[in-house]
Amino acid sequence: MNMKGRSFLKLLDLTPEEIMYLVDLAQELKEKRKQGIRGNSLAGKNIALIFEKPSTRTRCAFTVGAQEEGAMATYLAGSELQLGEKESIEDTARVLGRMFDGIEFRGFDHEYVEALAEYSGVPVWNGLTDEWHPTQVLATFLTLKEHFGYVKGLKLVYLGDGRNNVANSLLVGCAKVGVDIAISAPKKLWPKKELVETCEALAKEAGSTVTISDSLDVVEGADILYTDVWYSMGEEKKQVERIKLSAPYQVNAALMKRTGKDTTIFSHCLPANKEKEVTTEVFESEASKVFDEAENRLHTIKAIMVATLGE
Ligand code: CP
Ligand code: NVA
């Protein structure tokens, strides 16, 4: 698989084979790291990490991942760059592209990350926008592969805010690689109709299903229940309304039982609001793989950088 020079903006841009190639490469890099074998495939490269929004996992995964492959990562706070205010994103992109070999961007407007990719001339990686969080899904898939031994054919049910960046990305990722996906959410928080239609077509090709429902019945047969915060970064004003809307979709012990399987696992992209979208009981249970997935952010993000920028 040759992904050299490519950007990683949203999963819709990747084939199912490319998505699984990155998951497999991440697993290989993780195995090597455990054995104390470090790669050097990004030796001498400089990587810019732009963050308009806060981050623990994504920032650390890009920083440590880059360092472990021989690159140097430079953190740039969005608030200090004058992005789109005193300098257009296109101009910033052209400047950064002259100095850096790769750029990570986390922010609000997805068009920013698209513009960075178009104008910088170097690989750009989306570390989360209002619309998408594609690197997260690779970590979910690696976690599933490690736990169940395979990915295609599993059933993932996502509960809560069914139209946020994580939900959108899981919807596309699952539909592409043949994971049955159900989103259980209040009607007001369903993903966009066009996206659902696109994903239904992708799932058909992959031999899997897409279900969008406001019922909790769809958890039946789930191999993994997944949730995320009810109000995302930048949506703090909607907190009260969202809690009210989403409360019935909390992942708790009763819901885990309702899958009808005692093998169902739980995951969350983190950070989590405990006792909101998930109870502490489920979060801390044996079934919870949240910290495996958090660790897997490192290996999958490293894989993306190695695949698109590595020698
Ligand atoms: N899951 C995730 O992206 O975490 P951070 O916001 O800490 O990067
Ligand atoms: N939907 C969340 C994900 C955080 C990793 C947010 O955008 O805040």
**Distance of alpha carbon 187 from alpha carbon 217, whole angstroms:** 15
| Percent of the chain surpassing pLDDT 90 | 97
For ligand 2, say whether the CB of 166 is within 6 Å of any of its atoms: yes
Query: What is the 21 CA–ligand 1 centroid distance (Å)?
Result: 23
What is the DSSP pairing of strand 155-159 with strand 265-268?
Answer: unpaired
Is residue 38 annotated as part of the catalytic site, yes or no?
no
* Average pLDDT score over the chain: 98
Q: Render pLDDT for 130-154 as a digit per residue (tens, 0 to 9).
A: 999 999 999 999 999 999 999 999 9
Residue 256's pLDDT is 98
Contact 275, 1 (CB under 8 A): no
Query: What is the 275 CA–ligand 2 centroid distance (Å)?
Result: 17
**Distance of alpha carbon 56 from alpha carbon 37, whole angstroms:** 25
**Distance of alpha carbon 261 from alpha carbon 279, whole angstroms:** 19
Residue 263's pLDDT is 98
Which stretch of DSSP H or E encloses residue 294? helix 290-309
CA 290 from chain center: how many Å?
13
Residue 85's pLDDT is 81
Task: Pick the ligand that lies closest to the CA of residue 104.
Answer: 1
Is residue 297 annotated as part of the catalytic site, yes or no?
yes
pLDDT band at 82 (very low <50, low <70, confident <90, very high): confident
**Distance of alpha carbon 120 from alpha carbon 193, whole angstroms:** 32
**Distance of alpha carbon 141 from alpha carbon 26, whole angstroms:** 10
pTM assigned to the model: 0.98
First to last CA, the chain: 14
Query: What is the 232 CA–ligand 2 centroid distance (Å)?
Result: 5
Task: Pick the ligand that lies closest to the CA of residue 162.
Answer: 2
Which stretch of DSSP H or E encloses residue 195? helix 193-206
